[in-house]
Amino acid sequence: MKENEPITPVVIKWMSYDWDIPSTRPPNPGRYLIYRGKCNKIHFEQWNGNGWSSSNNDCTRWTLIKPPY
């Protein structure tokens, strides 16, 4: 990014997540931004294709964040 280059605003589209509903799971393994409803926290988490690496039961929303380039 060049100095004083304008930053493009980003809208995050959160996807609902429920372990019991397979259609709400991320389509591919990777790193996602998740929202943990029980403790009201947002952080990155690894989806391995079968579940989240450490907060499978707490995750209520997820989204994929792409680099700005």
Q: What is the pLDDT of residues 11-51, one digit of tens each?
A: 789 999 998 999 999 999 999 999 998 889 999 999 998 88
- Residue 1: pLDDT above 60? no
Instruction: Quote the pLDDT of residue 69.
Output: 66
Local confidence band at 6 (pLDDT 50, 70, 90 cut-offs): confident
Q: Are strands 59-63 and 30-36 parallel, antiparallel or unpaired?
A: antiparallel
Residues 6+ apart with CB under 8 A from 64: 26, 30, 32, 33
Helix (H) or strand (E) holding 64: none
Residues 6+ apart with CB under 8 A from 19: 25, 51, 56, 57
